[in-house]
Structure 1
Amino acid sequence: MSIRLGNSCLNCENLLTNKTCKIHGVKVDSNYTCDSFSMKAALKDDPNCVTCARYQGPTCANPQKAAPGMLCSHWAPQNASA
């Protein structure tokens, strides 16, 4: 079995907004990857709390700890480009 860096469904262009793989038609999460993995064309260069769409909002996963320069597994880019 291969170990892959960054090949998770969260970085795959086949992931739909409801966390379903459009190739396999199943629900996935950050621990999943497959041989049909296709990396998104562009990822945010500076992922941290300040560039997160959830920062200081009601959906922030860690409102007591969130601060500039920090990052958690719930980061959501404010602007995405592909």
Structure 2
Amino acid sequence: MSIRIASSCNHCNSFTEANLCKTHELKVSEEYTCDQFSILQQLDKSMHCNSCQRHHRPDCAHPDLAADGMLCASWAPKV
């Protein structure tokens, strides 16, 4: 069994706001994964340096590149 974060329902075209899968016609959660996953072709613009808990901290993955408004794959939400 493989663990796939990017293949979760909340990144899929078939996931609806009512937590329904249009492909399987089932109620699902954001953590579910499947082999018929169809990725959303968009970036989440809220995941930028200003909203990251690691911005300006030693554990930032890219301290030399980090800038206000920059999107990052190592982003972590502020708690």
Q: How many residues align?
A: 53
Supply the distance in 2 between the matched residues of 1:32 and 1:5 (Cα, whole angstroms). 9
TM-score (norm 2): 0.56
Per-residue CA deviations over 1:15-36 (Å, capped at 9, x if unaligned) read 1121100011111112201000
Q: Over alpha carbons, which structure has the higher Rg?
A: 2
> In structure 2, what is the equivalent of residue 10 of structure 1?
10
List alignment gaps of at least 5 residues for structure 1. Answer: 49-67, 73-82
TM-score (norm 1): 0.54
> In structure 2, what is the equivalent of residue 26 of structure 1?
26
Give the percent of matched residue pairs that are identical in Structure 1 and Structure 2.
36
List alignment gaps of at least 5 residues for structure 2. Answer: 53-76
The runs of at least 4 aligned residues of structure 1 exceeding 4 Å deviation read none
Provide the secondary structure at the position in 2 that maps to 1:10.
Answer: helix
CA RMSD after TM alignment = 2.0
